[in-house]
Amino acid sequence: MKKLFLIIGAPGSGKTTDASIIAGKNDNIVHYSTGDMLREEVASGSELGQTIDGFISKGALVPLNIIIDTIISAIKQAPVDNILIDGYPRSVEQMTALDELLEKEDEITLVSTIEVRVSEEVAKDRILGRAADAKPGEERSDDSVEVFYDRMKIYTDPLAEIQTFYTNKNLLTVINGERELDPIVAEMEAFVKENI
């Protein structure tokens, strides 16, 4: 049985960093970031990558069929049973689509959706800090102040509905992301390990 943890959080919440540290420390946990998987496809230069790039560079969500294919193939190919996926769901449509898929799927259980919560202020400072610190060639096309507000709005708009949906299923776990990295990672890691 595969055990799935979804990790959501505003741009700059640190969700990808937190999850990759946890997977790096635990052989029985694997981590996939939707943003990283999509950027890899863009970097491959494929036609699909070019399509994806058109959305990412504007801060827009890639279409549902692309993101569903991306996460399903990651889950199917996961080398271990405990899977952290960060960056999904980012819309009510994505949440519903995954819920319907999981209903039909006996081999995958959604254990929890972990929300790494930060204020817009903290998110913005971190994103603009990341943009200023990026090495030449490693800049992200979407780490600019203009695109930040679009990404933040896209994150915030469906958030209440996503929170309500998972709260009603007893599947929402909120972690305070406005702390130093270590205590955030420690809390998330403890929660994941207690529930696998």
Which parts of this chain interact with ligand AMP (CB under 6 A)? 11, 34-35, 38, 55-56, 59-62, 67, 87-88, 90, 94, 142, 151
CB of 80 to ligand AMP, least distance (A): 22
130 is in an annotated binding site: yes
Question: Virtual CA dihedral for 176, 182, 185, 190, nearest 10 degrees?
Answer: -100
CB count within 10 Å of CB 124 equals 18
CB of 194 to ligand AMP, least distance (A): 26
Identify residue 61 by its one-letter amino acid code. L
Residue 163, SS3 per DSSP: helix
14 is in an annotated binding site: yes
117 is in an annotated binding site: no
Question: For the sheet containing 172-176, what is the strand order?
Answer: 29-33, 82-86, 2-9, 108-117, 172-176
Residue nearest to ligand AMP (CB): 35
192 is in an annotated binding site: no
Annotated binding site for ATP, which residues? 12-17, 130, 179
Which residues contribute to the annotated binding site for AMP? 34, 39, 60-62, 87-90, 94, 140, 151
